[in-house]
Amino acid sequence: MITEYQQRVRDRYLAAPVMPAPAPWQPVPEHTIDIGGLIGIGFAVHPDTGRDLVMVVSHAGHGLFDAVTGERLARDRDPDPASSTPDAHPDLTCPGLGPAAGTHIRIAGLFGGGLHSTTPDGWAVDVVSPDWPHDRVILSADGGANGEAPGSTWWHVFHSRYSELRTAGFSPTGRTLAIATSSDITLWTRPTPLGL
């Protein structure tokens, strides 16, 4: 049985419109990147530039993207299935490619795992499902939707209406927010937070 409080929270999420992420978050130029058959994603850091990289694992292979520009940096259309799918490793990793070659990248998505749900400076991301299976992603600052209206301390930044949500979260650096579904990845970035 649903309580009155639970109903109020559910109604608040159902009524919240999708809105842009607040400053300092900015959509990358290729804000939504189409990836058919997406299985999961993970993060690495470019060894030369220090920028976040996004590793994408799909049924059509692997891709590595620059998280600031959305540019695809590397692609492997035919990875070795014995060593390059997240479920082939108990720690849910895949070998990196391109600038991340020689590393293993933790992948979150269809086979489990998870991305960071908070940043060191207080941002948080939550997945809510008031009308499951249509997940919504809530970005929040200072504790989230504690009775406040959307846009004050929390923002409904994504609504998965057509594709199954695979994962949502931050890069380990806290500079990238990624949301992955079975058909695409959506990215936001921000400058390096002060003091981090």
Question: Residue 1 CB: number of other CB atoms within 10 A?
Answer: 3
- Domain of 91 in residue numbering reads as 4-189
How many domains is the chain built from? 1
d(CA 113, CA 134): 20
pLDDT reported for residue 2: 82
Query: What pLDDT band is residue 6 in, cutting at 50, 70 and 90?
Result: confident
Within a domain: 194: no
Beta carbons of 58 and 182 less than 8 angstroms apart: no
Beta bridge partners of 74: 64
Phi, psi angles (nearest 5°) of residue 149: -75, 150
Token pair of 147 as six digits: 């009775």
Examine residue 174 and state whether it is found in any structural domain, yes or no. Answer: yes
Model pLDDT for residues 27-70, shown as the tens digit of each residue: 998 788 999 999 999 999 999 999 999 999 999 999 999 999 99
pLDDT score, position 35: 92
Per-residue tokens: 149: 């209206």
Nearest 10 degrees: Cα torsion 51, 167, 155, 30: 50
Is 82 within a domain? yes
H-type helices in 66-178, by residue range?
none
pLDDT tens track for 71-118: 999 999 988 766 656 656 667 889 999 999 999 999 999 999 999 999
- Residue 146: what pLDDT? 56
| Inside any domain, residue 90 | yes
Q: 3-state SS of 61-93?
A: EEEEEECCCCCEEEEECCCCCCCCCHHHCCCCE
pLDDT at 86: 61
| DSSP bridge partners of 44 | 53
Which of these, 53, 163, 49, lies nearest to 109 by C-alpha position? 163
Confidence at residue 148, expressed as pLDDT on a 0 to 100 scale: 64
Report if residue 195 sits inside a domain.
Answer: no
- Residue 196 in any domain: the answer is no
Residue 23: inside a domain: yes
Q: What pLDDT does 137 receive?
A: 96
pLDDT of residue 161: 87
How many helical (H) and strand (E) elements, i.e. helices and strands, does the chain have? 1, 14
d(CA 148, CA 12): 9
Instruction: Quickly state the pLDDT bin for 163 (edges 50, 70, 90).
Output: very high
pLDDT digits (tens, 9 = 90+) for 104-162: 999 999 999 999 999 999 999 999 999 988 999 999 987 555 556 676 789 999 999 88
Give, as one character, the DSSP assignment of residue 112.
Answer: B
pTM, 2 dp? 0.89
Containing H/E element for 44?
A: strand 38-45
Q: Report d(CA 108, CA 40) in Å as an integer.
A: 5
